[in-house]
Amino acid sequence: MSAPLWREREFLAAINGRPGAKLAGDITSISIDSRTVQPGGAFFAIRGENFDGHDFAGVALDAGARVAVVGMGFEFHNHKGPFVVVDDPLAALERLAVAARARSGAAICGITGSVGKTSTKEALRLALGASGATHASPSSFNNHWGVPFSLASLPRDAAFGVFEMGMNHGGEIEPLTAMVRPHVALVTNVAPVHIGHFNSVTEIAEAKAEIFSGLEPGGKAVLPADSPHFALLRGRADDAGAQIITFGVETDADVSLHSISEEAGGSRIQIEIFGQPLTYRLGAPGRHLAINSLGVLAVVHALGADVRAGAASIDAVKAAVGRGARTVLDVEGGTALLIDESYNANPVSMAAALTMLGAAAPKDGGRRIAVLGDMLELGDEAPRYHLDLAEPISASGADMVILSGPHMSGLGKVLRKKIDVRYAPAAADNQAVLLAEIRAGDVIMIKGSLGSKLGPLVATLLRRYAASAPHSKG
């Protein structure tokens, strides 16, 4: 049997708790959520925006947690524990993360970028998994608690570690990359996401470039050659002493695209990687995901893992719920295809999703229907970014757009001359329209920021019409 995640004494030493604590055994997992805590897990009582983990420490222990790590001043009430009292549970989790990194012999990749972090991380989990035991951040755990959580969960014998790092403001990536100390830092791309917190996209590029500050000596930077911000990224990576590896459509890139063809719910991709031709299949459709896969293989190469085995294994990639998952709907007289992009939206991911809508062919007189909600956090430029969608919408060949949200109102007026447009202030008000419109042969793509609440429309369609499990590829 392999050694536990944390032996009792290692754990107590790393978190630097008040002396005297005694646990009933080793720690097998880390938790900050009492609902998902595992028996043998260590529960850290983190203070979030909406909840204080201290209120759930007792529940976590009752659920089988080996220990609850709490802050000074915590009222133990009637619970026996065991508790370990620390200065601050988040700081203790960070110390555990640093200890996990210090003891690890894994080859480590850090990922940031405006879009594509999670899908790239999941593809890397598969691609590196072909070469050795791979640990990757769960879900989108990429912030000030998500990164230490993911790192503290790194098994001691992992061969590879992949950590997603996100940010809403400048200065947030630097402390994360200092903990992760990647051997390879990947920037997926730079785009106006959370631009409301920045003065320009250039500032966003600078914030992403903070990831290089944590690179290990001799580390490598994997950069998107096609980005308008490539020169800036390269300059910052150079300043950090990184060796630079590039990927993209750009033919001079170290990992460059030859061709993509969509086939049966995925893409067949031909690339050249450091002068060698390579063909592989990616198990989820979309040109944007295909290009992300070049970055994935660049990282596999940079970490010294097996590129061919990695390429072969990313056929198992699936589009995630809310990020392109496809479901065949059983509607009257036949089937329709639903593309669920309801998890988030910004100008680049909207354009990518519309390109996918364009690539998906309706059947037997069906139509392409785009159901779109507002893209949030775009600051003063929001009206322009929404109007700019007119072009990718036209290019997608959409026959009908069903829009909601204050910013989509202006776009609706522009599109009305060319396309069948429906508009309602709130997404929920479009449900009846959508249900009345859907016909056999249609392809329906639903996308908006999470806060624009397109998810319930997807849920309604799945409840009414899904023939198979909602994740099936179409």
Closer of 342 and 396 to Mg ion (Cβ): 342
How many Å from the N-terminal Cα to the C-terminal Cα in the chain?
Answer: 41
Please name every residue paired with 42 in a beta bridge, in sequence order, or none if there are none.
30, 67
Q: Which does 63 bind (CB under 5 to 8 A by kind): ligand ADP, Mg ion, none?
A: none
Instruction: Select the residue interacting with ligand ADP from 131, 227, 349, 452 (CB under 6 A).
Output: 349
In the complex with ligand ADP, which residue's Cβ is closer, 335 or 346?
Answer: 346
Q: Which is nearer to ligand ADP, 34 or 134 (CB)?
A: 134
Shortest Cβ 265–ligand ADP spacing (Å): 15
Binding window for Mg ion (CB under 5 A); candidates: 29-37, 56-64, 132-140, 231-239: 132-140
> Given the complex with ligand ADP, which of 114 and 430 has the nearer CB atom?
114
Q: Least Å distance between CB 460 and ligand ADP?
A: 20
Measured from the CB atom, is 89 or 182 closer to Mg ion? 182
Nearest to ligand ADP of 16, 140 (CB atom): 140
- Which of ligand ADP, Mg ion, none has residue 288 at its interface (CB below 5 to 8 Å by kind)? ligand ADP
**Residue 348 binds which entry of Mg ion, ligand ADP, none, CB below 5-8 Å type-dependent:** ligand ADP
By the rule CB under 6 A, 104 interacts with ligand ADP: no
Q: Is residue 342 involved in binding ligand ADP (CB under 6 A)?
A: no
CB atoms within 10 A of CB 245: 22
User: According to CB under 6 A, which one of 17, 89, 116, 448 is a site residue for ligand ADP?
Assistant: 116
Site for ligand ADP in 176-195 (CB under 6 A): 189
Distance in Å, CB of 278 to Mg ion, minimum: 27
Q: From the list Mg ion, ligand ADP, none, which binds 38 (C-beta under 5 to 8 Å, kind-based)?
A: none
Applying CB under 5 A, among 101, 117, 135, 368 the residue interacting with Mg ion is 117
Size of the residue set binding Mg ion (CB under 5 A): 3
Residue from 31, 119, 131, 227 that binds ligand ADP (CB under 6 A)? 119
Contact 135, 162 (CB under 8 A): yes
257-296 residues near ligand ADP, rule: CB under 6 A: 288, 291-292
Q: Which does 135 bind (CB under 5 to 8 A by kind): ligand ADP, Mg ion, none?
A: none
Query: Over the chain, what HEC string results?
Result: CCCCCECHHHHHHHHCCCCCCCCCCCECEEECCCCCCCCCEEEECCECCCCEHHHHHHHHHHCCCCEEEEECCCCCCCCCCCEEEECCHHHHHHHHHHHHHHHCCCEEEEEECCCCHHHHHHHHHHHHHCCCCEEECCCCCCCCCHHHHHHHCCCCCCCEEEEECCCCCCCCHHHHHHHHCCCEEEECCCCCCCHHHCCCHHHHHHHHHHHHHHCCCCCEEEEECCCCCHHHHHHHHHHCCCEEEEEECCCCCCEEEEEEEEECCEEEEEEEECCEEEEEEECCCCHHHHHHHHHHHHHHHHCCCCHHHHHHHHHHCCCECCEEEEEEEEECCEEEEEEEECCCCCHHHHHHHHHHHHHCCCCCCCCEEEEECCCCCCHHHHHHHHHCCHHHHHHHCCCEEEEECHHHHHHHHHHCCCCEEEEECCHHHHHHHHHHHCCCCCEEEEECCHHHCCHHHHHHHHHHHECCCCCCCC
User: Closest approach of Cβ 140 to ligand ADP, in Å?
Assistant: 5
- Asked if 16 interacts with Mg ion (CB under 5 A), we say no
- Rule CB under 5 A: is residue 120 a binding residue for Mg ion? no
- Shortest Cβ 334–ligand ADP spacing (Å): 27
* 333/50 Cα distance (integer angstroms): 47
Verify binding: residue 376, ligand ADP, rule CB under 6 A: no
Touching ligand ADP, residues 211-240 (CB under 6 A) = none
Within 10 angstroms of residue 243's Cβ, the number of other Cβ atoms is 14
Nearest alpha-carbon partner for 283 in 319, 315, 327, 261: 315
> Structure tokens of 343?
């998890």
**What's the closest the beta carbon of residue 141 comes to Mg ion, in angstroms?**
9
Residue 116 binds what, of ligand ADP, Mg ion, none (CB under 5 to 8 Å, by partner type)? Answer: ligand ADP
What residues numbered 290-309 form the site for ligand ADP, per CB under 6 A?
Answer: 291-292
Is residue 143 part of the contact set for Mg ion (CB under 5 A)?
Answer: no
φ/ψ of 321, rounded to 5, equals -55, 130
Residue 140 in the binding site for Mg ion (CB under 5 A): yes
Q: Which residues sit at the interface with Mg ion, rule CB under 5 A?
A: 117-118, 140
Q: Which residues sit at the interface with ligand ADP, rule CB under 6 A?
A: 113, 115-119, 140, 189, 288, 291-292, 323-324, 341, 344, 348-349, 352-353
